[in-house]
A and B are shown apart, each in its own frame.
Chain A
Amino acid sequence: MNPGKTPKGDAPAGGAADAAEPGFEASLAEVERAIRALEAGDIPLEDSIDLYAAAMGSLKRCHAVLDRAEARLEVVRRTAEGGVEAVPAELREGDGVQPAPRKP
């Protein structure tokens, strides 16, 4: 899928990490495990149905991750106090990435 040079995983972020909920990759892995198990076919029928329900839950979590964000471009700049802040930005033809003008 991606031409990554090292394998990917659910790396915990340097900032807040969603420790409670399994992340996208873990959920996707659960779905694939469920599919393989169900296709192999020697699970008791009741367990099959439980597995299906759990896998649907994992799929839902995956979709939630993909749908959660809103497109957001920001740029860091110095504050008057000498610190830094991130502000909404836009990509302009000549100037490149610049703070977006504040909306009236």
Chain B
Amino acid sequence: MPAAPRKTADAVLTDAVLTVGELTHVIAELLGGAFPRVAVRGQVSNLRRQSSGHVYFTLKDAEAQLPAVMWRSTAERLRFRPEDGQEVVASGKIDVYPPHGKYQLVCSSLQPLGLGDLHLRFEQLKARLAGEGLFDEDRKRPLPLVPRHVAVVTSPTGAAVRDFLKIALRRMPRAWITVVPARVQGDGSIDDVVAGLAAAAALPDVDVVVAARGGGSIEDLWTFNEEAVARALAASPVPVVSAIGHETDTTIADLVADLRAATPSEAAEIVFPDVAELTAQLDDGRTRLARAVARRMERARERLVALESSAALARPLDRMRRIAQDLDEWEARGLAALTRRVAAARERFGRVAGHLEAVSPLAVLARGYSITFRDDGGVEGRREALRGIDAVAAGDRLVTRLARGSVVSEVVETREESRP
């Protein structure tokens, strides 16, 4: 059936029965006309960002709720990121979306409400927790130099986890890392982070937990200023590193954590050692050890040599040498003396021998004298030499010993000698 031409509002309101389209059209005109520009204060909820870039949310208060939409162009220009739970002032026009039978606020600008409130809440919570000692330095635990297992509570998508993992694996390629997914802003984020921290600390062998998220507005980071999150961090049985936002942002989580990193990347640098550097340090240690021991042994050897040549050790040697020298001298002297004595003795002997020589019968014989014995067959040595003629008679055989040889003769006659 062909559509009927649009009726005017006036025409419609006088009709008895209207089509849905007709009525809706009138409503749209009425609402649009009445609220071409309106500013509404309420709490953001159910915020959805479509892939188109358009943002849909609901503004609500205790009594009512108002669907709202922000086209992409407007959303991109926003200077803050709206999130569920935020109090805002939304400005725009009311229009009707006939296919859904809904009216909505087409939001052309959005302002957070009560930034001052947030600061106040921050300061109040900070003071309270500080008073409980949750920020005390001596509560803060050191991290292990080489962690066994690191758990990171963070959004599984986004730059924070990517940066963290990139740096972590560059420094410690064999690291064991478990990502505990959590919403890090908006609805449900507080519960996610609290549950995530508990799950992280319960993982096997975990020795460091990291809570990380990227940069954002104070509202974006607000989850990490919430009391529940602060207490969950304080209660962690394992040291916690917070890496929330940028350098200039300080959340209560940062104050409670055992260690604070300016960014997720810096958290990875703090948590993971540079294994290559550590290995080089170990190798350097090995070299220094070997060198030190070698030097120690060299020193021992040097001392030994020094001792050997030092006076202390050499004195006994000197003594020994002196003694040896003395012995040599004595030996030399002794020999000389002995030689002299021998020579003297020999001289005496020589003189005596000379004497003996002189009185030796052999020497007498050599002078022409001879010895005569009676040859009666006896042993020559026992015979008496003839001295007188009374011992012989004519006819006796005689042996006469000459200087050389002997003569056997017979006595012819004897004669009396006259004394000279």
Point out residues on A near B: beta carbons under 8 Å: 1-11, 13-16, 23-25, 28, 31-32, 34-35, 38-39, 41, 43, 45, 48-49, 52, 55-56, 59, 62-63, 65-67, 69-77, 84, 86, 89, 91, 95-98
Task: Verify A91–B270 contact, CB threshold 8 A.
Answer: no
The contact of B289 among A4, A11, A55, by CB within 8 Å, is: A55
Q: Tell me if B221 counts as interface (CB < 8 A to partner A).
A: no
| Cα(A91)–Cα(B156), bound, Å | 9
Task: Verify A63–B144 contact, CB threshold 8 A.
Answer: no
The contact of B173 among A6, A15, A71, A74, by CB within 8 Å, is: A71
Q: Tell whether A75 pairs with B259 under 8 Å between CB atoms, given A9-B142, A10-B144, A96-B158.
A: no
Report A-chain residues with C-beta under 8 Å of the C-beta of B146.
Answer: 23-25, 65-66
- A94 nearest CB neighbor, chain B only: B157
Question: Smallest Cβ distance from A9 to chain B, in angstroms?
Answer: 4
Q: What's the dominant secondary structure at chain A's contact region?
A: mixed
Question: Smallest Cβ distance from A61 to chain B, in angstroms?
Answer: 10
Task: Verify B181–A75 contact, CB threshold 8 A.
Answer: yes
The contact of B181 among A23, A32, A59, A77, by CB within 8 Å, is: A77
| Cα(A95)–Cα(B258), bound, Å | 31
Render B112-154 as a binary contact track against A, CB cut-off 8 A, 1 for contact: 0000000000000000000000000000111111101100000
Q: What's the dominant secondary structure at chain B's contact region?
A: mixed
Binds A, one of B97-105, B200-208, B338-346, B369-377: B200-208
The contact of B142 among A6, A41, A73, A97, by CB within 8 Å, is: A6
Within 8 A of A (CB), among B143-180: 143-146, 148-149, 155-158, 161-162, 165, 169, 173-180
Output the residue of B148, B278, B296 with the most chain A CB within 10 A. Answer: B296
Report A-chain residues with C-beta under 8 Å of the C-beta of B293.
Answer: 38, 48-49, 52
